[in-house]
Structure 1
């Protein structure tokens, strides 16, 4: 396992993040417990969840599962625990978003479900355009002062959102954001334009989600199904994507690499990336992801990958202007 600082903080986390979104809807509680135990045994110290995980019928289900594991395993101090706030958790007008009112209610509810007295990384799941940053930071700073959270992160923010949030926090004398979760994989490289440069400037660790693009980058089984069971090969009518993925799998075959592991390894080689989130439904998927750390991609390999999956051309504005 590799480790890194959580953004510009002094906290150390594993460079593979255990995502828990499948726990409950797709993975039984017993299997989820086994996966979390195995992950921690293998050196994974960063566990990520969200208050809305569990499906529309049972939002909070995943946090409850993680909480029961924490209570029964006694491993709370072995992990850095992250969860999120923003999504709709009830029928009320204030049961979603980043108002100070909802943040206060949501963190207490997450603490109860997680059966812990503190959250290490409390992440804004989405930008809230209707709430002033001053209000958001007032609420977050109070949670830090109360010992309910240690750090604040964001998810799905644009580069300018990172700037607004960070500059407002600086004016208040707050630590501000320390991480950003973004959609980032070989097929989705838009964050290289502005999110990655902004995160680097403000000292945020970038945590890619959907690192295998819903299974597309994981390779085909003999039955033509993407690894991961439910993630089937894309629409066959998309000939360009089919050709691109065929080139990717040929690249991996030539080097005797598992495509999914290679896609994770590529992210681990990207500047500014703290570590990708994996969301295993099974123990086999967890063990496969751990193999990404055994892959060392050369400069020639990285150049060949760029030919298959061209990025946006660099940071903005050079990528699209003189």
Structure 2
């Protein structure tokens, strides 16, 4: 494939500040087979910056995407292992130019506004209409490279190699997620003023464990998470409010309130298409709200949506909920309440 070569001979890795890295074992470690799948590193929600040495990046408002390259084949996988390569032909073609024999990249696919901010609803519309030419892949980690499994290396070294790789082979639709060198609370305040989702911190020296081990932490500008759509109320437009659910510790789907705000006419059309095949007679909730049977349509608990809200009450219901969009990249059976953690 044109443009590909041995990264150990890549001039980008021998530029100032990277020569030591180029000579280290991260460039030529013991060979390892290219994995067929790598589960993504999971992020812990926290309310304050953790102690210790951390590096921070923008939290991009898009879909998590892992890239596997093996010879001439490029595959794009969602967080849960769905192959979405065919949905993003131009991005796939761009990644074919990357100067590697084999690799795994981790990142986020977004659509950016003119000022560079991610636009989540535009991203959803792009996938719904199969108009994905404007997608941008923001890469933030390198897990495997030319026979070398890098998951056991420190995150800062993995990111240095990734940055050098992308500098050596610029691509129209691929960016590097830069490290932001500032106080994390100042970074978070600036992110919120810019209407971004928040920031993500990664502990120096941490390996890529494909688990929620506290090595990656996110600080968010507001309350926002995924819910299962358990049903909806009937209305003249066909759909009134969406009835939301979350799984408890026993895996049972519990009623979590409703949302109507934020649902546009275009969204209503998408909802009607997505939800019509899921209609069923019985509620999937263990504690359904009291309402007239004729006024509600229950659904098989398969469709996920994202909602922002003021708070979740002690009774477990969302307050001042606003619909953000459908999430086809996440399985419904994995959706539960996202709890804050205090990382030491």
TM score, norm. by length of structure 2: 0.29
Q: Which has the higher helix share?
A: 1
TM score, norm. by length of structure 1: 0.30
- Higher relative contact order (CA closer than 8 Å, sequence separation 6+): 2
Q: Which has the higher strand share?
A: 2
